[in-house]
Amino acid sequence: MMETVHDDSDEPTPSAPHGRLAPDVAHHAALDARMVRAARGIRLLALASWPAEVGARFLKEFARGRVRLPEVRYAAQDFTEARRELDAIVREADRDHPLGQYLAESARTWSIAAELCESLGTPRVTDLSVALFGRPDEPLPGHGPTTREAAQHFISIANELDHALLAPSEQIRISATALSLQLQRDLDDFFDGRRIEVQLDPDLIAKAAAGATRIRLRTGAAFSEYDRQQLLQHEAFVHSLTALNGREQPVLGSLALSSPRSTATQEGLATFAEQITGSIDIGRMKRLSLRIEAVARALDGADFVEVFRYFLDQGQTAEDSFASAQRVFRGVPTTGGAAFTKDTVYLRGLVGVHTFFRWSLRQQKLHLGRWLFAGKMTLADVQRFEPLFDCGVLKRPRWLPPWIVRANGLAGMLAFSLFANRIRLDAIAGPDAVADL
C-alpha cells in the first residue's frame, strides 16, 4: 500500500508578465507578482513535516514492544511581513473583476497558511487547518452525506470484498529501481523531454513523494501496477502538469503554485483522473477513507498512538500506519483533540470535480474541464476565467492528460453517469428484482 506525500518545497518558478496589457489586467498582474513573492517560503507541507528520525525511532521502539507519543519540534517561523503584504493585496484587488476576486481569495488563504506555519506545534493549527481544508463532519457537495459518512461507506465496502478477487497481475511487485525507469520513460515521452525527474531516495519515509518537477521513490520499496498508474495519472498528469502549465501563464504566475485554496480541486481532479483511467482500486479508496476517519477520531480526542493502532487494526503495516498517522498529526500536538485536516479534501474534492464534469457536459461546456489544467485553480475560478481564456489573457494549457484529450470517451462516461444516477438501487429489493434486470 502506497502513501504518497506532496513535496511543496519543489515548486517551479512562475513566469513574469510580459507584453502590453490592458490597465485592469496589468494592475492585477502586478498584484499577482507581489503575491507570488509574498507566498515564497510559505511551504505549508514541508514546514509541517516530521524529521525522518522521528519515524525511525518510533518504529524501532514499537518493534521492541514499547510505544510512546512522538515528540516533534518545529522551527519558529515569522511571516509578519508576508502577511502584511498579502493583506494589502486583498485590499487592492478589485472584487468585481475575475482576476481581482481570484487574487483576494488566494491572498487571504495564503495569509491563513502563513499564520498556520507560525503556529506549528500548537492547538491553534487545528482551527487554521479547518479554515483551509474543512472538517470530516461537513456535508459533501449537493447537500449529501458528510465526508466522514462517505468514508465509512467506502471502508465498509472494501472490508466486504474478497481479496482473492485480485488478479495475479495485480499482485506482482515492482522494485523502486524498475519503477523509476518505467516512469522516467513514460514522462519523457509524454512531455517530449525531461520536464519531471524521477529519483531514488533512501531516506524517504513515505514510499513516494511528488513535486512539480520531480518524483522521488524510496529506495528498496516495492510497488504495484496500481501504484505506478497512480503516480502517473494522479501525481504527474495532474499535480505536476498543472504546475508546469501554470508556469507558462503570462499574467497569473501564481497558477503554478500549490495554493491551499486550490487543494480540494487539485486532489479531487487527481483522484478523478485515477477513476477515469481505471488506475484506482478499492484498496486505495479504503486508504483515502481511513485517513478521513482517522482525522475525525483525532478531532474527537484520539492521540497519535491510538490513531496509529487504528491503521494497524485496518491491516496496514507498521511503516504505513506510522506514515498515515503522521499525516493526521502534522503540525499539531500528538496528545489528541487536534488534527491537520488536509486529507478530508480527497473525497469532497472528488465529488465536487465529478459533479463539475457532469454539469459541464449538460451545459455543453466540457472545454472548461480542459482549461482546468491551465494551472492550479478552483472549480469556481475556471468558470470566472472563461472570458479571459477566450480573449487570450489566460493561456490555454500546453499539456493535457490523455483521458481529457479523448473528449468523446469522457463525454460518453459522463452521459451514462447522468442517466444512471436516476436509477435508485434502494428501489431494487431482493434477489428476484435483481434477477429481472
Convert the pLDDT of each residue in 216-252 to its tens digit.
999 988 998 888 999 999 999 999 999 999 999 999 9
The confidence score (pLDDT) of residue 437 equals 47
Report percent pLDDT > 70 for the chain.
89
**Who has greater pLDDT, 401 or 9?**
401
Read off the amino acid at residue 423: I
> Average pLDDT of 127-154?
92
* CB-based contact 212:244 (threshold 8 Å): yes
pLDDT at position 386, please?
97
Mean of all residue pLDDT scores within the chain: 89
Burial of residue 62, with CB atoms counted within 10 A of its CB: 0-12 exposed, 13-18 middle, 19 or more buried: middle
pLDDT the model gives residue 395: 97
- How far apart are alpha carbons 396 and 405 in whole angstroms? 13
pLDDT in tens, 252-293: 999 999 999 999 999 999 999 999 998 888 888 999 999 999
Q: In this structure, what are the phi and psi dihedrals at residue 209, rounded to the nearest 5 degrees?
A: -135, 135
Neighbours of 201 (CB within 10 A): 16
The CA dihedral of 224, 230, 231, 237, to the nearest 10 degrees, is: 150
135, pLDDT greater than 50: yes
The pLDDT tens digits of the residues spanning 359-378 come to 998 899 989 999 999 999 99
Q: What does the pLDDT read at residue 100?
A: 98
pLDDT of residue 424: 55
The predicted-structure confidence for 101-119, as pLDDT tens digits, reads as follows: 999 999 999 999 999 999 9
Residues 6 or more apart whose Cβ sits within 8 Å of residue 33: 16, 17, 253
Q: What are the E-state strand segments in 146-228? A: 174-175, 197-201, 208-210, 214-218, 222-223
Binning pLDDT at 50, 70 and 90, where does residue 58 land?
very high
Q: What is the pLDDT of residue 204?
A: 78
Confidence of residue 435 (pLDDT cuts 50, 70, 90): very low
Mean pLDDT of 71-95: 97
pLDDT value of position 212: 83
For the cut 80, the answer to whether the pLDDT of residue 68 exceeds it is yes
Q: What is the mean pLDDT of residues 298-324?
A: 96
User: How high is the pLDDT of residue 377?
Assistant: 97
Average pLDDT over residues 428-432: 52
* Nearest-5° Cα angle at 396, 230 to 216: 30
DSSP-derived letter for residue 150 is H
Cell triple for 46: 514541508
Is pLDDT above 90 for 3?
A: no
* pLDDT at site 15: 56
Over 80: is that where the pLDDT of 175 sits?
A: yes
Structure-model confidence comparison of residues 173 and 396, the more confident one: 396
Predicted local confidence at residue 203, as pLDDT: 78
pLDDT attached to residue 434: 43
Tens digits of per-residue pLDDT, 8-29? 666 656 655 555 889 999 999 9
Alpha-carbon distance of 87 to 184, in angstroms, equals 42
pLDDT surpassing 90 at residue 427: no
Summarize pLDDT for 197-216 with one digit per residue, the tens.
999 998 776 788 888 899 99
Q: Which helix (H) or strand (E) holds 18?
A: none
Cα–Cα distance, 151 to 313 (Å, whole number): 17
- Residue range 374-384: average pLDDT? 97
Mean pLDDT, to the nearest integer, of 293-297?
98
- Residue 173 is classified by DSSP as -
Quick one: pLDDT band at residue 179, thresholds 50, 70, 90?
Answer: very high
**pLDDT score at 161:** 77
